[in-house]
Structure 1
C-alpha cells in the first residue's frame, strides 16, 4: 500500500489543451474504483491557498487512507501540474471535473480545506451540469464557508486579522510564525501543534519518494508579476467573497439547500481567517449536514487533530444516510 511519504506522482495530459497536465497521486489502496460503496469510493483532497500535494500533513493523509484510496492533486498551474491557474472557484471546479473524467473517477467523495473547501462546494454543486458524468457522493467542508452574501449571517474576519492575512499568506516566504498565526491558536497548545505539523511536513522528501519535492505556490518570488499562482488563487477568493461571485455556478449560498448529499462541515473553535460561526451558518443551509467544532484550535484543526479528524471523516463517509 502506498503512503503519503512514498507514493509516486502520476501525470495526465489533457488532450484538449496544449498546456494542461494534471499531476496526482493515489494514497492507500493502489486500485481505484468507480463503485460507490462506503470504503471503495476515492476521497479527493483539495488543499488550501498556496498548498501543493507535497505539503499536506502526512499523518492526516495516511490516517484517512487506512480504509480508502485518497486522491491528491495539484491544482492546474501549481506544484507539479501545468497550465493556467483558474481565476474563479467555479473554473477550478471545472478543471477538477475534467481531471476526474479523464482519469476515470466516476464517483468520488470530496474533502476541501480552506480555499479547497470553496472549490469542493462547487465541485459538488456543479457536478450534474459539468457534462463529465462525475458524481460527488459525500462532501467535507473543512475551514470553509458559503458565499458571504449581504445579510446572510456569514461573517468576514475581524478587521485587525483581515489586515494581516495578505502579508502573512501571500508573501514570498511563508515561515513557521506565519502559519502559527494563520492556522493555530496563539497559546502553548497551538504552538506545540504547529511545531509537530511543521516537522511532519518534512516526512515526504526526495529520499523517501524518489522525486523532487515542490514548495509552496510561488515561494521565493522576486516580483509580484512572477506570482501568477498566488494572483490566480487570490482572485478566486475575492470573486467567491463578492456579491457577483455568489451567482450561478460560482455561488454556493443560494444552492446549498438543494444539495441532496451528506455534508460534514468542520472547523476549529477560533479560526483566524474564516470565523467559526460560519461553520454553523453554512451547515444550516444544507439538509443533510453535520457540524463539528474541535476545541482550542484554529483554521488547521484538521492538522492539530489529524487522527481524530480522520476517524470522524471515516465515520461520516461510512454512516448510513
Structure 2
C-alpha cells in the first residue's frame, strides 16, 4: 500500500555487502502489485532523505515503486562519505543490490546525484533500464571546476538556512519566490518527527571534493557517454546558477538516446517548482517505447 505522503514514510535500514547500513524510504505499489521497474533516486549536494520535496515523490509514486536513500556517510547511513563520484557510484550499486530489486532499476539523479547516476550507468550498464538526469553536467566539461563563489557561499557554509538554499534553487521572480516558499514549507515543515540525521561537515567536504574532481576539464571524459545505450531524459531549469542549462544540452548531445527539456523561470530546484509537470514527464519517459 502507498502511504498518504512521502512525509509520513518510516525510515528503514538495510545492510549491504560492503558493510554499510543504508537509511532509505520506500513508497509506491508493493512487489506483486504490478509495480513495474523500481525508481531509485540519488540526492543533491548535502541533501538527505528529508531534502526531497514530498510533492515530487508523491507525484512519482502512484505508478511505480520509488526509493530514496542516503548514500555512504550521508544522513542516517553509516560509514565515511567518499570523495569521488566513482566510489559513490559503487556504494549506490551496493545499496541497490542489498534491496534485491529483481534485476534492473530506473535511476533519477539530481545534481551531484546525477553525476553518480551517470557513473552507475557507465560502471554497471546492465543494472540501469532508463536514466533521468536532473540539473546535470558531464564529467570533464570546461567551466565546471567548482561552483561560482555566490553559489558555494550560499549552500556550502557550515551553517546554512532554508533561505540560503532558496536563493540557488529558485529564481527571484514572483513565481519563483512563491514556488520556493511553498517548497520550503513542504520540505522543512511537513515532517515533524522521525526526521533523517543531518549531513555532517565531513560529508560536505567529501562531496565538494568529488564535485570539483568531476569538473576538472578533460575532453576524453566527455567521450565516455557515447557508451550509454539506454534511454536518457536530461532536464534543468532555464536559470540554474549551480549547473548552467548549457551543460544539459551538452550532456544530451553526447548520449545517443537522450532527450532534453528545460523548464521556464526555474533554477536548480526546477523539479520541486514544476513537480507536477516534471513527474508527468518522468512518468511518460519511463513508460515510453525504447
Deviation sequence 1:93-121 (CA, Å, 0-9, x none): 00011111121022110000111110111
- The answer to whether structure 1 residue 199 and structure 2 residue 202 are counterparts is no
Match of 1:232 in 2: 206
Q: How many residues align?
A: 286
The residue correspondences of 1:117-132 to structure 2 (distance < 5 A) are 117-128=114-125
1:180 match: 166
Do the aligned residues in 1 keep the contact of 2:16 with 2:97 (CA within 8 Å)?
A: no
Matches of 1:25 and 1:149 in 2, distance apart?
33
How far does residue 156 in structure 1 lie from its aligned partner after superposition?
A: 3.9
| Structure 2: runs of 5+ lacking an equivalent | none
Q: Within the alignment, does 1:213 sit opposite 2:199 as a pair?
A: no
Deviating above 2 A after TM superposition, structure 1's stretches of 4 or more consecutive aligned residues are 14-17, 30-33
* Contact 1:268 1:301 (C-alpha < 8 Å) held by counterparts: yes
Indicate conservation of the 8 Å contact 1:55/1:216, yes or no.
no
Q: TM-score, normalised by structure 1?
A: 0.84
State the shift of 1:15 in Å. 4.5
**Distance change in 2, residues 1:284/1:42 (3 Å):** same
Counterpart among 65, 70, 93 of residue 66 in structure 2: 70
Correspondence for 1:60: 56
Q: Is 1:262 the counterpart of 2:231 in the alignment?
A: yes
Contact 1:180/1:186, CA 8 A, preserved across alignment: no
* Stretches of structure 1 lacking an aligned partner (at least 5 in a row): 129-133, 207-211, 219-226
Name 2:257's counterpart in structure 1: 288
Q: How large is the Cα RMSD of the aligned pairs?
A: 2.1
Q: Which residue of the partner structure matches residue 12 of structure 1?
A: 14
If the length of structure 2 is used for normalisation, what is the TM-score?
0.92
Partners of 1:267 and 1:116 in 2: how far apart?
14
CA distance in 1, matches of 2:196, 2:18: 26
The answer to whether structure 1 residue 278 and structure 2 residue 247 are counterparts is: yes
1:306 to 241, 263, 275: 275
Relative to 1, partners in 2 of residues 1:136 and 1:15: Cα closer, same or farther, differing over 3 Å? closer
Per-residue deviation at 1:170? 1.4
Kept after mapping to 1: 8 A contact 2:37/2:105: yes
CA distance, structure 2, for counterparts of residue 173 and residue 32 of structure 1: 44
